[in-house]
Chains A and B, each alone.
Chain A
Amino acid sequence: MLHIVNKSPFERNALESCLRFGRDGSAVLLIEDGVYAATRGNAVELKIREAMGRLKVYALQPDLEARGMQDAVIDGVNLVDYGGFVDLVAEHKAAQSWL
């Protein structure tokens, strides 16, 4: 399963719920305001780092750049462009958007 989160972890609990229900080995793709969760030095960094032990975490590079956060990405988060986004959707049996 590919989980897609597009909301800021500081504004909504979408990421939290996604991580709670996401099973080991599944993938999480952070897009739009969700990309703030892929950055260092903030109050949710530990949650993502813990999740990275059992889930694959991806973030959409264009959304990081738009927000000026491209230099603050947590090591180990995989960056993808729009082509990579399509590949992820195609590779997984289903995609779930946590709106």
Chain B
Amino acid sequence: MNESAGGVDLQEETSGTVKKFMFVNRKAPYGTVYALEGLEVVLISAAFDQDVSMVFIDDGVYELVKGQNTKAIGMKNFSPTYRALEGYDIEKLYVDEESLAARGLTTEKLLVPVEVLNTAQMAELMDQQDVVISF
């Protein structure tokens, strides 16, 4: 009985409504706590099997810069966590083309593979979401 009840529960969980969640990151790391908090919320959201995308706009693109070393400022370097997102099935990472260019950055300088979108493409993606959460 228990076994079959467990099976039914699992069935219900996996067939539940999947919503499109977008997490918008617009802040540089370390200067404020937004970037780290945003990342933690994304990791929590991974437990709920939703359709999650992360986008990086404005100073948010700085979160993904390679070679961060926080030893001398005494804060946790959370940048390796972006590499672990794939393991949580969070594979949709989008970066705003204009924000990258304004900061002299290219995708080669970022620590994870991302998809670069122009303004119109980003706007369209935002439009498709059920829930948008900003950090």
B15-32: contact bitstring with A at CB < 8 Å (1 yes, 0 no)? 000000000000111111
A40-76: contact bitstring with B at CB < 8 Å (1 yes, 0 no)? 1111010000000000000001110111111110000
Q: Does B77 contact A (CB under 8 A)?
A: yes
Please state if A40 and B104 are interface contacts (CB–CB under 8 Å).
yes
Please state if B59 and A11 are interface contacts (CB–CB under 8 Å).
yes
Q: How far is the CB of B36 from chain A (nearest CB, A)?
A: 12
| Complexed CA–CA distance, A7 and B72 (Å) | 19
Please state if B30 and A33 are interface contacts (CB–CB under 8 Å).
yes
User: Which residues of A lie under 8 Å from residue B67 when comparing CB positions?
Assistant: 68, 70-71
Q: Does B103 contact A (CB under 8 A)?
A: yes
Known contacts A11-B28, A33-B30, A62-B73: does B68 contact A67 (CB below 8 Å)? yes
Known contacts A32-B30, A39-B104: does B69 contact A66 (CB below 8 Å)? yes
Q: Which of B59, B66, B75 contacts A66 (CB 8 A)?
A: B75
Q: How far is the CB of A31 from chain B (nearest CB, A)?
A: 9
The residue in chain B whose Cβ has the minimal distance to the Cβ of A40 is B104
Known contacts A39-B104, A41-B104, A42-B104: does B62 contact A67 (CB below 8 Å)? yes
Please state if A68 and B65 are interface contacts (CB–CB under 8 Å).
yes
**Residues of B within 8 A of A (CB-CB), count:** 24
**Residues of A within 8 A of B (CB-CB), count:** 26
Please state if A63 and B103 are interface contacts (CB–CB under 8 Å).
no
User: Which residues of A lie under 8 Å from residue B70 when comparing CB positions?
Assistant: 65-66
Please state if A42 and B102 are interface contacts (CB–CB under 8 Å).
yes
Please state if B59 and A69 are interface contacts (CB–CB under 8 Å).
no
User: Which residues of B lie under 8 Å from residue A36 when comparing CB positions?
Assistant: 28, 59, 62, 103
| Complexed CA–CA distance, A80 and B109 (Å) | 25
Q: Does B58 contact A (CB under 8 A)?
A: yes
Please state if B59 and A33 are interface contacts (CB–CB under 8 Å).
yes
User: Which residues of B lie under 8 Å from residue A67 when comparing CB positions?
Assistant: 28-30, 62, 65, 68
Which residues on A are within 8 Å of B, measured CB to CB? 6-8, 10-11, 32-33, 36, 39-43, 45, 61-63, 65-72, 81
Q: A66-B68, A81-B72 are in contact. List 4 more A-B contacts (CB 8 A).
A: A41-B103, A61-B72, A65-B68, A67-B29
